Amino acid sequence: MILFGPRPEYDNELPRLLADSILRGDAGFAQHHLYDRSRPLDAEMSRLARDTWHVPYISLMTLLCSESGCIEYVAPGLPIQSDYAHFTLQGSAYVGRAVNARFPGIFESR
């Protein structure tokens, strides 16, 4: 079993926020709409996975976000999320490649 942490969450659908970002000419618009609750939840899930459940944990927040913000596009014009809660097909492929790059062979041993 592998436990995946929460993905970055926004207060509206990411594609809508990205469209607003373009219309406003504000490249950081979507980042201002990230929920603060995702990082503490990620930290708590990581702790529980390690100390209580003893399962590998993959932090999507660490994988997809940095100090400057979270990944919004996987390619020009292709958002990583299709709505409020789901990755696009390309976004899912991006996450899969990122997980495999960070944790080589993690899926093969399960």
Q: What is the pLDDT of residue 85?
A: 86
* Percent of the chain at pLDDT exceeding 90: 82
Asked whether the predicted pLDDT for residue 23 surpasses 70, the reply is: yes
Asked whether the predicted pLDDT for residue 110 surpasses 60, the reply is: no
Q: What is the mean pLDDT of residues 69-86?
A: 94
Give the β-pairing of 3-4 and 57-58: parallel
Give which of 108, 72, 63 is closest to 91, Cα–Cα. 72
User: What confidence category does residue 103 fall into, taking pLDDT thresholds of 50, 70 and 90?
Assistant: confident
17-26: list long-range contacts, CB under 8 Å, 24+ apart: 18/72, 18/73, 18/79
In the chain, the amino acid numbered 57 is Y
**Rounded to whole angstroms, how far apart are CA atoms 87 and 24?**
24
Q: What is the pLDDT of residue 36?
A: 84
Q: How confident is the model over 36-74, as pLDDT tens digits?
A: 888 999 999 999 999 999 999 999 999 999 988 999 999
**Rounded to whole angstroms, how far apart are CA atoms 38 and 7?**
7
* Bigger pLDDT: 1 vs 28: 28
Asked whether the predicted pLDDT for residue 24 surpasses 80, the reply is: yes
